[in-house]
Amino acid sequence: MVNETEPPSPERRDFLKKACAAGIGTAIVLVPVAAGITVLLDPLRRKSAGSEKVFVTTLDSLPEDGLPRKFPVVASRVDAWNKMPNTAIGAVYLRKTNGANVEALNVVCPHAGCFVDFRADKKDYYCPCHNSSFNLDGRIANPKSPSPRAMDVLEVEVRNGKEIWVKFQNFVSGHREKIPA
Amino acid sequence: MKKFVDWLDNRTGGKALVHDALYENVPGGSRWRYVWGSTLTFALVVQFITGLFLWMSYSPSSQTAWESVFYIQNVMSGGWLLRGLHHFTAQAMTVLLVLHLMQVMIDGAYKAPRELNFWFGIALLLLVLALSLTGYLLPWDQKGYWATKVSTNILGITPGLGSILQRLVIGGPDYGHQTLTRFFALHAGVIPASVVGLLVAHIYLFRKHGLTPKRPLRKKDEAFWPDQVLKDSVACLAVLAAVLFLVIWPRLKDAHAPMGAELGAPADPSEAFSAARPEWYFLFLFQFLKYFPGTTEIIGAIVIPTIAMIVIFLMPIIGGWRLGHRFNLGFLGALLAGAMLLTYLAVHKDRNDPAYQVAVRDAQRNAERVRELATEGIPREGALALLQNDPVTQGPKLFARHCASCHRYDGTDALGRVPKEAAHASDLKGFGSHEWLAGLLEPAQVASSKYFGGTKFKEGKMVKFVQKTIAGLKPEDKAQLPKIIAAVSAEAQLPAQSEADRKDAAAIEEGRKLIDSETFRCTECHQFRKKNEDATAPELTGYGSSEWLKDFIKNPAQDRFYGERNDHMPIFGEGGRLDEKSLDLLVRWLRSQGARPHNGLTLR
């Protein structure tokens, strides 16, 4: 028989009790954890903002010699609960190619996301963070550049013969392929 | 697996620890009355888990706090559940604290040698209440904002360091960003850390002295595991079930209600909020303070609660005296009964207070409205701007403030209150709409309080015209009246009637001619579409349009309106009575509401 001070040892027939106690104990903690994880994973379910073409500038503000100029891209930006109209959401390099066509490059370096500079003296793009360099058309200039791909070319449309509209998009950095962010 | 466990045990001694935890002796066997401590620990764990995840999406500043909570609650998947669990578990904890305290008192578990542990317990109770208080402010909605203001003001009247403490807690002379960052640091950092520290000490001391069994022992001793653990986990499950029930309760009452914890309209420092109440478990204090008016407030807010706390702290010592235990039980019982009575009185008073009910309805309306608006995206300056620039929200308030002393809106002041005095001017619900104009041209209605009844024009030409000329029209002329109504109403270009106006284009064209006809002679007094120097009554060109209304409200005594016949209506455009923005909101609201969309005239 069990005395007053010595606790009884667990017995086999207590199995059901033990299973219930452990089961309920686990389940009740899992409920708040599950609710939390659901909210934590919410960003995975959000689609990135649709990229409609935005007006950037007019043809006559681009130099005739085919050298690029940098323009801010102004559009409506959604940041979680905030919706901000007319906000700078990024920047592009625009340049004229063979007279009438326009080429647009996202200023973000595909390597790690820094903004690349245009070097007028060397006529190339240069990333100040890890020294990637790109030709005027965006292709990698120096093969030692750490960037995994060329600068991201963006879709451009010239409307009414002079308005330059760009489908502004960011792409995931660090990959060889262009994956929309 | 076993190898790994052994390896780990060899390095940590974990097995012995687990053994100690699970095979703690329960004298007299497991009982339901011992579950309260465990349920509290469970509730605290739930709060830590849910709180941590809420933390990942919460942003404490006066332009983002409400907004981020809105985002969690209404946009993020599962957010309503997460926030609901956190909110209602906090409420459950208050109840569990009282039950735990009562069990400890009744079973005498507070007496020597367990004094220190009792004091830790009371400190934990106060800290959990402090968590509730700080958490109430974090969503930065009207309710939390105004209720918490009261508690920090009470802190401010505490003698000595009160006002300094108040300023430190709210981070400045007034509520703002710093209040939120500080409350958040208290709520998610300082207080939880203190709770953990005290709880470890509390459980350590509990284990050291052992459970205080209810005598006489009913059964032989048992180990904590599994019998008591099973009872504890079933009790915790019941707590969780109750919390989940409260989370979905709003949906059970109303199929469209948002589930989870309530989120009021964003805090508005410029708009006093008479529906502000503390959480229900602080209501007794709120009610108690009402009996200490003026400078005696400090007695109710500080002195008496402090004395009660001192008595509670001394209970382990008092309990050692003859009859001391009975005194303690009596004191605690009286305290709880008093709190319950005060809570009842507070709820009863609010239930029977029409002004409070109006304020609550107003608060609910604002909360619902801002949820609608915020779904479309919130501007950078915060969600409050959505309400402040919203005609539907501001219109009725402006009407009640500036117009309702004479005018009515559907018989009320537009906020749902019916003024005691009779109306001195027309009822403006649906002003300029078909329905409104039809009533005006109705002989039975024109002199009623809905139109000219309260004004000096009761005896005027328009009333006589309607009551004599219109009443005496030949049936075929009377049949033309709807065209006139459609024509005048079309001048207002009411959004709700745009469809009807489009369909009625031909009838409206006819109506315009009829306005100037021999039969109706409207232009004898009213100017319409052409200059008329002799006009004495308000112009019908653009009648009820946005521009017409704004000009009229700015100055009804202009020649194109009532001129010198203007009956008491103030010139709102002068003396800063009504600024342009307010005027715009008022007019937009008046024109957007009241008029019913319809399909145009049916006579064609």
> Does A32 contact B379 at a Cβ distance shorter than 8 Å?
no
The answer, for A88 touching chain B at a CB cutoff of 8 Å, is no
Q: Which residues of B touch A78 (CB under 8 A)?
A: 377
Pull the structure tokens for residue B25: 């002796």
* Mean pLDDT computed over every residue of chain B: 93
DSSP A13-35: GGHHHHHHHHHHHHHHHHHHHHH
Strands B25-26 and B222-223, by their bridges, are antiparallel
Closest Cα in chain A, distance from residue B222 (Å): 6
Split at pLDDT 50, 70, 90, the class of A9 is low
- DSSP-based three-state secondary structure for B527: coil
Q: Measured between CA atoms, how close is A53 to chain B, in angstroms?
A: 21
Mean pLDDT computed over B231-253: 96
- What percentage of chain B has pLDDT greater than the value 90? 77
pLDDT digits (tens, 9 = 90+) for B10-31: 999 888 988 888 888 888 888 9
- Chains A, B: CB contacts within 8 A come to 122
Residue A3 pLDDT > 80: no
The C-alpha angle with vertex A17 and arms to A13 and A23, in degrees rounded to 5, equals 135
**Identity of the amino acid at A150:** A
B250 burial (CB, 10 Å; 0-12 / 13-18 / 19+) is middle
CA atoms within 13 A on the CB side of B142: 22
Place of tokens 């790690």: A112
pLDDT for B249 beyond 90: yes
**Residue B229 sits at the chain A interface (C-beta within 8 Å):** yes
pLDDT on residue B319: 93
Tens of pLDDT, residues B96-116: 999 999 999 999 999 989 999
Q: How many Cα atoms sit within 13 Å of B388 on the Cβ side?
A: 14
Task: Indicate the pLDDT class of residue B273, thresholds 50, 70 and 90.
Answer: confident
Residue B184 CA to residue B189 CA, distance in Å, equals: 8
Taking a contact as any Cβ pair under 8 Å apart, which residues of chain B between 379 and 398 contact chain A? Answer: 379-380
Q: Is residue A1 pLDDT above 90, yes or no?
A: no
Residue A51 to chain B, least CA–CA distance (Å): 18
How far apart are alpha carbons A96 and A52 in whole angstroms? 22
- DSSP character string of B246-269: HHHHHHHH-TTSPPSS---SBP-T
pLDDT of residue A13: 62
Side-chain-facing half-sphere of B138: CA atoms under 13 Å: 27
Interface probe, candidates A2, A3, A16, A28, chain B, greatest B C-beta count within 10 A: A28
Question: What percentage of chain B reaches a pLDDT higher than 70?
Answer: 99
CB contact under 8 A, A36 and B52: yes
Q: Which residues of A84-106 are buried (b: 16+ CB within 10 A; e: fewer)?
A: beebebbbbbbbbeeeeebbbbb
Out of A12-16, B109-113, B144-148, B252-256, pick the least confident: A12-16
Q: Inspect the interface and report whether the beta carbons of B230 and A24 lie closer than 8 Å.
A: yes
Look at residue B133 in the predicted model and tell me its pLDDT: 95
- Using 50, 70 and 90 to split pLDDT, how confident is the model at B595? confident
Average pLDDT value for residue range A147-176: 93
Instruction: Output the pLDDT for position B604.
Output: 36
B23 touches chain A (CB under 8 A): yes
List, as ranges, residues 33-72 from B with C-beta within 8 Å of A.
42, 45-46, 49-50, 52-54, 56-57, 64, 67-68, 70-72
pLDDT digits (tens, 9 = 90+) for B196-229: 999 999 999 999 998 888 888 888 888 888 899 9
Q: What's the confidence (pLDDT) of residue B395?
A: 94
- Is the pLDDT at A8 greater than 80? The verdict is no
Q: What is the pLDDT of residue A41?
A: 96
pLDDT digits over B419-453, tens only? 888 889 999 999 999 999 999 999 999 999 999 99
Please, which pLDDT band fits residue B340 given cuts at 50, 70 and 90?
very high
Note the maximum CA span of chain B: 111
Please check whether residue B223 touches A, CB under 8 A. yes
Report pLDDT digits (tens) over B141-155: 999 999 999 889 988
Give, rounded to a whole angstrom, the gap between the first and last alpha carbons of chain A.
71
The confidence score (pLDDT) of residue B55 equals 98
B-chain CB neighbours of A5 within 8 Å are 25, 221
